[in-house]
């Protein structure tokens, strides 16, 4: 007898044996059990036998079959290829999908035809344009009112309804900078695109005090941080500021275009930069806002920069 068939018979006997042990008398093999169980076991037996012999058939076919047809002229290391006919069904499906694709792009759903997304985008653009035109020339009161209402929705979750930063969760917007924020900027430098592009401020190893002709010291950092956070008033720290910071930030701390930002007061331009680029600092990370229109930015800039002046 063929070895494969012998192996198949052994497998069947083994599997039926396992089934018997597993199901036992509950399966009705011992004469107990109802006809549902008996049928189930019968099904299992049939499945085992049929599966094993179908597999055996294909294994034998693989063992015995020899390919037929015309061999192609080329061969690769002695391995050749038969020139078999394309299966008809495959060819029909292939051609069918090509024709369907052409139809789909040109007639069925043309790329430039109506689409709901397209209509939606047009409507949004039209609405935005109308909105921009309507609020193009706002007086200060309207601008601030719009800024406040956007603030309550977009900003209050972090900055609080009072814009006080909710005990350190975000920046207190009534002051330009907290002392620890100034300190962190001096010690680590700052790279928050506050001038619109990446124009970093050097860290403490790049900050020379022109008065002492030496790198800024710990004591000087403490003094100048308090001075800046206090609104650049008084005399303590003023000399350090004049010697180290004024060259970039200006004698009054109001900054210079493309050199350094205004650190004396919250200007609309400064707020605008923070809104568009986000900010990472001593307190945490503020996300950049990309989903507001220019009018809305302008309103927020005006409202937020007015907070510290009240």
Pick 102 or 214: Cβ nearer ligand HEC:
214
Q: Should residue 299 be labelled a site residue for ligand HEC when binding is judged by CB under 6 A?
A: no
**CA–CA separation, 173 and 191 (whole Å):** 20
Select from 7-15, 60-68, 128-136, 178-186 the region that touches ligand HEC (CB under 6 A): 178-186
Q: Could you say which residues in the range 230-259 bind ligand HEC, by CB under 6 A?
A: 244-245, 247-249
Shortest spacing between CB 307 and ligand HEC, in angstroms? 9
Q: Should residue 194 be labelled a site residue for ligand HEC when binding is judged by CB under 6 A?
A: yes
| CA angle at 52 for the pair 51 and 54, rounded to the nearest 5° | 65
The residue among 162, 171, 195, 202 whose CA lies nearest residue 276 is: 195
Q: CA of 19: how far to CAs of 24, 54, 151, 251, 298, in Å?
A: 8, 20, 72, 93, 79
Q: Which two tokens stand for residue 158?
A: 């972090």
Pick 8 or 224: Cβ nearer ligand HEC:
224
Shortest spacing between CB 295 and ligand HEC, in angstroms? 14
Which of 41, 146, 171, 223 binds ligand HEC (CB under 6 A)? It is 171
Pick 48 or 175: Cβ nearer ligand HEC:
175
Tokens 């083994």: give the residue: 14
Shortest spacing between CB 278 and ligand HEC, in angstroms? 8
Shortest spacing between CB 223 and ligand HEC, in angstroms? 10
Which of 41, 146, 155, 302 binds ligand HEC (CB under 6 A)? It is 155
- Stretch 94-133: interaction string toward ligand HEC, x if CB under 6 A: ----------------------------------------
CA R_g for the chain? 40
Q: Should residue 159 be labelled a site residue for ligand HEC when binding is judged by CB under 6 A?
A: yes
Which of 8, 41, 207, 307 binds ligand HEC (CB under 6 A)? It is 207
The residue among 148, 186, 156 whose CA lies nearest residue 263 is: 186
Pick 45 or 158: Cβ nearer ligand HEC:
158
**CA–CA separation, 60 and 89 (whole Å):** 27
The residue among 308, 161, 310 whose CA lies nearest residue 229 is: 308
The residue among 135, 143, 120 whose CA lies nearest residue 303 is: 143
Q: Should residue 27 be labelled a site residue for ligand HEC when binding is judged by CB under 6 A?
A: no
**CA–CA separation, 197 and 13 (whole Å):** 79
**CA–CA separation, 310 and 301 (whole Å):** 15
Which of 82, 200, 234, 236 binds ligand HEC (CB under 6 A)? It is 200
Q: Should residue 298 be labelled a site residue for ligand HEC when binding is judged by CB under 6 A?
A: no
Q: Could you say which residues in the range 254-293 bind ligand HEC, by CB under 6 A?
A: 260-261, 263, 271, 274-275, 279, 281-287, 289
Contact 25, 32 (CB under 8 A): yes
Contact 143, 302 (CB under 8 A): yes
Select from 69-77, 96-104, 119-127, 183-191 the region that touches ligand HEC (CB under 6 A): 183-191
Interface positions with ligand HEC (CB under 6 A): 151, 154-155, 157-159, 170-171, 173, 176-177, 181-182, 185-186, 190-195, 199-202, 207, 216, 224, 228, 244-245, 247-249, 260-261, 263, 271, 274-275, 279, 281-287, 289, 300, 304
């Amino acid at each position: 007898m063929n070895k494969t068939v012998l192996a198949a018979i052994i497998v069947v006997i083994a599997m039926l044996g396992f089934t018997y042990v597993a199901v036992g008398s509950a399966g009705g093999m011992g004469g107990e059990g109802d006809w549902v169980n008996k049928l189930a076991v019968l099904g299992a037996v049939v499945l085992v036998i049929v599966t094993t012999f179908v597999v055996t058939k294909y294994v034998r076919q693989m063992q015995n079959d020899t390919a037929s047809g015309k061999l192609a002229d080329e061969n690769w290391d002695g391995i050749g290829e038969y020139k078999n006919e394309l299966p008809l069904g495959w060819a029909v499906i292939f051609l069918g999908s090509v024709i369907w694709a052409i139809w789909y792009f040109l007639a069925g759903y043309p790329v430039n035809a109506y689409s709901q997304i397209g209509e939606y985008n047009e409507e949004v653009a039209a609405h935005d344009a109308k909105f921009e035109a309507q609020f193009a020339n706002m007086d200060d009161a309207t601008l601030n009112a719009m800024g406040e209402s956007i603030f309550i929705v977009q900003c209050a979750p972090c900055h609080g309804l009072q814009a006080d930063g909710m005990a350190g969760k975000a920046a207190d917007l009534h002051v330009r900078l907290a002392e620890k924020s100034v300190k962190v900027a001096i010690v680590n430098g700052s790279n928050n695109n506050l001038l619109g592009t990446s124009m970093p401020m050097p860290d403490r190893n790049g900050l020379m005090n022109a008065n002492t002709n030496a790198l800024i010291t710990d004591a000087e950092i403490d003094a100048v941080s308090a001075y800046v956070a206090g609104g650049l008033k008084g005399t303590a720290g003023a000399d350090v500021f004049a010697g180290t910071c004024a060259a970039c930030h200006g004698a009054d701390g109001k900054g210079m275009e493309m050199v350094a930002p205004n650190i004396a007061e919250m200007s609309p331009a400064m707020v605008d930069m923070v809104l568009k680029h986000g900010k990472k600092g001593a307190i945490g990370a503020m996300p950049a806002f990309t989903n507001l229109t220019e009018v809305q930015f302008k309103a927020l800039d005006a409202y937020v920069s007015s907070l510290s002046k009240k």
